[in-house]
Amino acid sequence: MGMILLLGWIGRAEAQDTGLQESVRRILFLGNSITYAGQYVTFVDSWLALHEAGRQIECLNLGLPSETVSGLSEPNHADGKFPRPDLHERLARVLEAIHPDLVVACYGMNDGIYQPFDEERFKRFREGIEWLHGQVVATGAKIIHVTPPVYDERKGAAYANVLDLYSDWLLSKRYTDGWEVIDVHGPMKHYLEERRKSDAAYFLASDGVHPGETGHLLMAKAILAHWGVTGLEAVTDGQGLMGGTADGAEILRLKTQWQSVMKDGWLTYTGHQRPGMKKGLPIEEAKARGREIAEQIRQILHK
């Protein structure tokens, strides 16, 4: 995998080789509410738009809040309003509609249903991940698994330990089965522990689950580093990721709009069983709006 150096740039950046296979044009991101929130997806998408403009890589976020890959749900989830949605119900439709070259999947946070470790729940998580892997590979696409983000032990040490174990198992698949696995859990946990040495009240997620911008940036940096990007250590926010210029900030703003339009459009089009979701634009309208935003980005990059 080729290595590149993230250099400062003025105005616009020249295309750089990220180590992504040349055939990759459409990347599908799957996951739960953290993925649906999508700031890490937007960071990755914005960086690729800036540095891989010639390839026109499309990053589509179809994360779904509350979802699991294990098929498990608490007896009284959402105060009894609805069970957790299960990826098994929608994956075939999503893959058929999107036709991704690459899938980036981040599950685990919900899959232990916020209870202490249980071998049967762990088994269901493993089976779900292996099923997901097989379904994607059967389409001819590649899949990269992402370890679950850290759960703040101050909200429950037992569940923090569950996600440590789930992450360790996923990482072991690198060696037992040759899977591509990106570790975001370890870097996020390390960052949280280091910050608390100087600020005991520090947190990445106020509720212990859903990270803010810093947590999403750590996730994006881990993904980009997996693709060979170097020089990200000193980057502390989205503006820094985009080079700290007005053009970079504008691309990030436009990509945030693009992601919002496209994820709701595609989620509505492909369907799901999660109540309370925003209804997206009809898919052709969403695509048209996406093209308008993409043209604004193109003009920035080529001015």
Tell me the mean pLDDT per 10 residues along the chain, length 303. Answer: 34 47 94 98 97 90 98 94 97 98 98 98 98 98 98 98 98 98 98 98 98 98 95 95 95 98 98 97 98 96 86
CA-CA distance, 204 to 202, in Å (whole number)?
Answer: 7
Q: Which two tokens stand for residue 76?
A: 């009284």
pLDDT of residue 1: 34
- Reduced to 3 states (helix: H, G, I; strand: E, B; else coil), residue 296 is helix
- Contact assessment for residue 84 and residue 73, using Cβ atoms and an 8 Å cutoff: yes
Q: Measured between alpha carbons, how far is residue 105 from residues 66, 97, 236 in Å?
A: 15, 17, 24
DSSP character for 19?
S
pLDDT of residue 250: 97
Within 10 A of 292 (CB to CB), how many other CB atoms are there? Answer: 13
Predicted model pTM: 0.93
How far does Cα 237 stand from its chain's mean position? 17
Domains along the sequence of the chain with CATH = 21-301 (3.40.50.1110)
Q: Measured between alpha carbons, how far is residue 158 from residues 49, 75, 77, 123 in Å?
A: 40, 19, 19, 18
b vs e for 170-206, b when ≥16 Cβ sit within 10 Å of the residue's Cβ? bbebeeeeebebbbbbebbbebbeeeeeeeeeebbbe
Q: Which two tokens stand for residue 214?
A: 């810093």
Q: Which two tokens stand for residue 182?
A: 């990106």
CA-CA distance, 171 to 176, in Å (whole number)?
Answer: 9
CA-CA distance, 196 to 251, in Å (whole number)?
Answer: 33
CA-CA distance, 133 to 181, in Å (whole number)?
Answer: 11
